Amino acid sequence: MRRIAALVLAGLLLALLPPAHAQTTFSGKTVTIIVGYAAGGGYDRMARMIARYLPKYLPGNPTVIVQNMPGANSLIAANHVYGVARPDGLTLAAFNRNLALGQLVKVEGVRFDMSKFAWIGSPSNETTILAIRSDLPYRTFDELKRAREALIIGATGPGANTYDFPLLLKAFLGANLRIVSGYPSSADIMLAIERKELDGRAGSYSSIKPFIDRGLVRAVIRARASVPEIEKLPVDEELTSDPRAKAVMALRSTPEVIGRPYVAPPGTPAEFIQAHREAFSKVTKDAEFLAEARRAGFDIEFVSGEEALRITNRVLNAPADVVRVFAQFFKFE
Amino acid sequence: MLDALASGLFQVLQWQTLSYMLIGIFVGFWVGLLPGIGGGTTLALMLAFIYRMAPVQAFAFLLGMHSVTATTGDITSILFGIPGEGSAAATVLDGHAMAKKGEAGRALGAALMSSLVGAIIGAAALALAIPVVRPLVLTFGSPELFMMAVVGIASISSLTGRGSRAMLRGFLAGGLGLLFAMVGQDPQAGILRYHFGQLYLWDGLKLVPVLVGFFAIPEIVDLAVRRTAIAGNVPVGRLTHGVVEGIKDTFRHRWLVLRCSLIGTWIGILPGLGGAVAQWMAYAHAVQGARTAEDRERFGKGDVRGVLGPGAANNSKEGGDLIPTVAFGVPGSSAMAILLGGFLILGLAPGPDMLTKHLAITYSMVWTIVVANIITVGASLAFLNHLAKLTTIRGPLLIPFLILLTFVGAYTASNSMGDVIVALIFGGLGYLMVRFGWPRAPLVLGLVLGNIVESYLWVSTARYGAAWLTRPGVLVLIALACLMVAWPFFQERRIRARAR
């Protein structure tokens, strides 16, 4: 009897002891997610959604708020989180997925090292596609390549996937494209397609999807990162045998696998990073969150912090000759 | 179609929808009143609350908020000379000048009533445009958009004083405004211009800190120098009777209000131009209506027509703004881009479906704009007379509060000290311009149109070569621009002929 009582008591004590990894608690604290863009954009909307679900999964159920720190394509936010924010586990940052490329081509104003951030992960990837007007006679990329007259593709400007992606298709795959860049936003490009000023555009799949669904444009080619619906489209880098062209196209699309990067300041204690990583992983499996994300037009595909860091390092260690060619095409904007 | 119109109204008037709208209006009222926090940012914050709402309720909530910000933004502009919203800056020129003459009540009455009329006309335009909306928007290509911006710049000639010297100053100020618009990364090649090594300047000058500093700081300095209340030494009794007078003014100048409403709607329909442009073109149009030289001189010194024009235009553009958003899923402004996020959350695909299958929802938006503005203006009228009394507070007591409002307003643009510095610099510039008799309106117009002019000139030429110059729409707009530049000369000749 006494043995059983002792066992029960020991069991109770064990149950009362907090699990090992939950020793860090955020109870009564406020976690701030710094977003490198103004309110209302994709990065911001994603952060605000996550901010509502994180408290449920972080030990101690802290308050989570979003703070916008827009400017210079989120360089300001990245510099702040790298150099100024305290590494106490209470600050996270969500910023431009192309920052690693910016660091690689040595953009002015970069005061951080992407490989030294404490990576939490990315809740989704972003796929770039090229879409052309459905009333054009070309149904596939092959047909498009044989087009006698150049297709007019609208773009915002260098450094945006609306520009870089078709530029590489033209340079390395011989697609007959004429790129008209300088539209104020991708929405303006869409309207120009509607009035037949343009034949098509490149951009992230999630933003073009509504227009594919209503039959205005059709997707013909995609970059490496993917979602199931467009898995079958040809992939840009697979259509060439030139290894350097392959490498340059791969370099451009690698950061898209980490579509919405989340990091903490360098030097954040490991137990806090662990807590955030676990919370993110659980949020991105939460049924309610997934339903909400689907309605907001996001495909959730969690990329872990370890994986995100590995991908970032792969970008930063690209061979010098590939970087040289890439730098001719890429401007950080 | 009438069924949908009626059903849209009934859906808006259901108590649940109406109460969501009231919450929206309450929020929008304050957002408009306080400088800095813009309608767009607030929309982004409100999106989180709509997941469990029905579409009509959600749009009542969101649009109810957004459509009143322009209305109440005018109040701050008039009372303190601090633009309450980016789209309410033009009201400062004559509205605040009226407040300084002791006519704050009249200016407020005129601003609110013209806002209401503008909102209704804009909403009506949205409703009427629905059958023809697609061709209407699609005839405007990049070359035409470029020319529209040129027409806007041409209207500078009306925003300056008389005489060749004043005209020269006006166009120089406009040119300076265009130059300020060049700051930041250029849109074609990503080259950094005039950024002085500052990351803050990569995105160019932000409109709100520029406007807040440019208009508010000279007024604060003026108030400090005068050492009186804003309304000088006007007896309180006179102030409180003005509101009714201002409402009457709206109907006395009904054609002006109507024309400015249409200008606002049209600019709203064109993607990219936006509210910051609409108000100034409406203001320029109001000035063009002056019949005599003395009449012209009254503008800028507190003429009610200078309040009515922008007041009507910045509200009527709301209806126009919705047209490309609803019909194409292509937002006409940054606020509408955020609203588009709301469409997706609600499971609606903006586009042709909104004009057929979901027509009742589209009409519910029209009604929301109308009902929200009626409620706001009605509620405001009850205490406008008391608001007007704020202009009798002694300057030294008011100034700390105004300074706080100015700098907090500037800072909210991007939560950066850069915003405050920009506000200070433009405050100094604005003060010098006022002191030496240079017009400020052309500079602002140059700044808000600079990027549009640059982008669309580039795109038009890249797409069409020189051929775009011969498009019929472009030719019409070129003629219009020439007419606008020449108008003051005609006007002067006519005045002189009449004098003889």
Set out the domains of chain A in order of their start, with CATH numbers: 27-125+258-329 (3.40.190.150), 128-254 (3.40.190.10)
Q: For strand A91-94 and strand A30-35, is the pairing parallel, antiparallel, or unpaired?
A: parallel
Q: Tens digits of per-residue pLDDT, B190-237? A: 788 998 988 899 889 988 899 999 999 999 999 999 888 888 877 655
Distance (Å) of CA A298 to CA A125, B114, B412: 9, 42, 28
Q: Rounded to whole angstroms, how far apart are CA atoms A46 and A58?
A: 18
Among all residues of chain A, which has the CA nearest to that of B328? Answer: A191
pLDDT over 90 percentage in chain B: 52
Instruction: Write the DSSP string, A276-324.
Output: HHHHHHHHTT-HHHHHHHHHHT-----EEHHHHHHHHHHHHT--HHHHH
Instruction: Write the DSSP string, A122-186.
Output: ES----EEEEEETTSS--SHHHHHT-SSPEEEEE--TTSHHHHHHHHHHHHH---EEEEE--SSH
Rounded mean pLDDT of chain A?
89
Among all residues of chain B, which has the CA nearest to that of A159? Answer: B190
Q: Rounded to whole angstroms, how far apart are CA atoms B352 and B137?
A: 13
Structure confidence at residue B427 (pLDDT) = 96
* % helix, strand, coil for chain A, step of 5: 50, 15, 35
Q: For strand A118-122 and strand B184-185, is the pairing parallel, antiparallel, or unpaired?
A: unpaired
CB atoms within 10 A of CB B162: 14
Identity of residue B474: V
Q: Rounded to whole angstroms, how far apart are CA atoms A222 and A131?
A: 9
Structure confidence at residue A22 (pLDDT) = 47
User: Residue B383 pLDDT > 90, yes or no?
Assistant: no
Cα–chain center distance at A247: 20
CA torsion, points A156, A162, A163, A169, in degrees to nearest 10?
-160
- Of A232-236, A247-251, B165-169, minimum mean pLDDT range: B165-169
Cβ distance A36 to A96 under 8 Å? Answer: yes
**Residue B318 — very low, low, confident or very high, per pLDDT cuts 50/70/90?**
confident
Contact B414 A44 (CB under 8 A): no
A32–B contact, CB cutoff 8 A: no
Cβ distance B465 to B135 under 8 Å? Answer: no
In the block, residue with structure tokens 């520029």: B210
Structure confidence at residue A11 (pLDDT) = 56
Distance (Å) of CA B82 to CA A68, A231, A296, A323, B125: 24, 54, 37, 50, 31
Structure confidence at residue B347 (pLDDT) = 82
Structure confidence at residue B240 (pLDDT) = 62
The CB-based long-range contact list for B367-370 (8 Å cut-off, 24+ gap) reads: B367/B8, B367/B9, B367/B12, B367/B123, B368/B12, B368/B21, B368/B59, B368/B60, B368/B63, B368/B64, B368/B67, B369/B63, B369/B67, B369/B119, B369/B122, B369/B123, B369/B126, B369/B318, B369/B319, B370/B119, B370/B120, B370/B123
Instruction: Write the DSSP string, B372-384.
Output: HHHHHHHHHHHHH
Cβ distance B273 to B149 under 8 Å? Answer: yes
Cβ distance B442 to B283 under 8 Å? Answer: no
Smallest Cα–Cα separation from A200: which of A127, A141, A259?
A: A141
Q: Rounded to whole angstroms, how far apart are CA atoms B365 and A176?
A: 44
Q: Tens digits of per-residue pLDDT, B62-121? A: 999 999 998 899 999 999 999 988 888 999 999 999 999 888 999 999 999 999 999 999
R_g (Cα) of chain B, nearest Å = 22
Contact B341 A68 (CB under 8 A): no
Cβ distance B180 to B447 under 8 Å? Answer: yes
Contact A109 B199 (CB under 8 A): yes
Q: Which of A108, A188, A208, A212 to mutate to test the interface with B (most CBs of B within 10 A)?
A: A188
Among all residues of chain B, which has the CA nearest to that of A49? Answer: B48
**Residue A233 — very low, low, confident or very high, per pLDDT cuts 50/70/90?**
very high
Please tell me the number of Cα atoms within 13 Å of B84 on its side-chain side.
26
Instruction: Assign A204 to helix, strand or coil.
Output: strand
Q: Tens digits of per-residue pLDDT, B401-430? A: 999 999 999 998 888 899 999 999 999 999
Q: Rounded to whole angstroms, how far apart are CA atoms B11 and B6?
A: 9
Contact A184 B352 (CB under 8 A): no
Instruction: Write the DSSP string, A244-263.
Output: HHHHHHHHHHGGGGS-S-EE
CB-nearest partner of B345 from A71, A210, A295: A295
Q: Is the dihedral of CA B457, B459, B464, B466 positive or negative?
A: positive
- Of A316-330, B33-47, B306-320, minimum mean pLDDT range: B33-47
What size, in residues, is chain B?
Answer: 500
Q: For strand A91-94 and strand A262-264, is the pairing parallel, antiparallel, or unpaired?
A: antiparallel
Alpha helices for B130-274 (secondary structure H): 133-138, 142-154, 156-159, 163-181, 207-211, 217-226, 236-239, 242-252, 254-269
Residues 47-66 of B with CB under 8 A from A: 47-48, 51
Token duo for residue A152 = 């007019």
Rounded mean pLDDT of chain B?
89
Contact B137 A191 (CB under 8 A): yes
Q: For strand A177-181 and strand A151-155, is the pairing parallel, antiparallel, or unpaired?
A: parallel
Please tell me the number of Cα atoms within 13 Å of B132 on its side-chain side.
5
Instruction: Assign B409 to helix, strand or coil.
Output: helix
Say what the ipTM of the complex is: 0.86
Q: Residue range B357-382: average pLDDT?
A: 91
Q: Tens digits of per-residue pLDDT, A63-120? A: 999 998 988 888 999 999 999 999 999 999 999 999 999 999 888 889 999 999 999 9
DSSP A25: -
Q: Tens digits of per-residue pLDDT, B327-350? A: 888 787 778 888 888 888 888 888
Token duo for residue A16 = 């009362």
Instruction: Assign B263 to helix, strand or coil.
Output: helix
CB contacts of B140 in chain A (<8 Å) are 195
CB-nearest partner of B185 from A184, A295, A333: A333
CB-nearest partner of B329 from A188, A210, A296: A210
Structure confidence at residue A18 (pLDDT) = 47
Q: Rounded to whole angstroms, how far apart are CA atoms B283 and B279?
A: 6
Structure confidence at residue B237 (pLDDT) = 59
Contact A40 B43 (CB under 8 A): yes
The answer for residues whose C-beta is within 8 angstroms of residue B26's C-beta and 6 or more apart is none
Structure confidence at residue A20 (pLDDT) = 46
Q: Is the dihedral of CA B121, B126, B129, B134 positive or negative?
A: positive
The more confident residue out of B330 and A283 is: A283
Smallest Cα–Cα separation from B88: which of B273, B282, B262?
A: B282
Q: Rounded to whole angstroms, how far apart are CA atoms A225 and B65?
A: 39
CB contacts of A38 in chain B (<8 Å) are 41, 414
- Of A204-213, A323-332, B64-73, B459-468, minimum mean pLDDT range: A323-332
